[in-house]
Amino acid sequence: MRPEQVTDPVAFHAEGPVWSERWGGLRWVDMMAGDVLSLAEGGSLRRVKVGQVAAAVRPRRQGGAVIAIERGFVLESADGTLTRLPEVWSDPEVRMNEGACDPQGRFYSGSMAYDQRPGGGTLYRLDPDSNIRPVVDRVTVSNGLDWSPDGSIAYYADTATHRIDVFDYDGERGLTSRRPFVDLSAEALRPDGLTVDAEGAVWVALSNGGAIRRYTAAGKLDVIVELPVRKVTACTFGGPGLDQLYITTSREGVPPGDDPLAGSLFKVVVGRVGRPVLDFAG
């Protein structure tokens, strides 16, 4: 499997790719630039500034998007109008980082301290009525989150732990019974964004490993996709048949002149298919 480079290095720290038919293609974020990027079917690229930080984006059922920004959330309407919700916290040393929606249409995004101090972040949930509540505390680098096809399991990466964890999940009780799913500490690998395919397997980006890995629902490694970039940040399935894996990369912390393709978007056909993205009900 040879990944195809889709764009030039258009982002400093690209993250969170999402495919939605509502958008007619792919969106992802250039996180530290505060921009949401869109790739149309014809290959044209569009960039929209949403704040100092653009941490995560998901489609809204009524059109537009929900976006996690530095210290809270923005709602984008179908016509592109942006409405900023009240800040969740005031500490300028903490920012949002990555997110996803649950099967009930609630949007989660987790925070982290800029200096990545241990336990400095929290995973928050934005409900359709705009109520915001913390759901997991004492996280360090809150990152990839997605649900199993039947909605009974959620997978979550706190990058600093070198683990992907798994929660039991139902709509009433939320995330419960957290436990390790895959432990990468022996390899000193850092799990970043992740997505779950139609078979229930987890595809995870390795932010210091230059690759995407697929783990079955039993936690067995069965696919490795190597990238020509060391800092691989996230992945999602897209295309009309949801059979193309789109992959974002970063040049954050990369010395000038090193890793010339860092910040590019890639795609690869992996012989598996994804699922339609879970959207925000608000």
Instruction: State the catalytic residues.
Output: 192
Contact present, 224 and 262 (Cβ < 8 Å): no
Which pair of tokens denotes residue 145? 């989150």
CA distance 185 to 181: 12
- The DSSP bridge partners found for residue 45 are 39
CA distance 63 to 67: 13
For the sheet with 153-158, list strands across it: 142-147, 153-158, 163-170, 174-183
Q: Give the side-chain half-sphere CA count within 13 A for 121.
A: 29
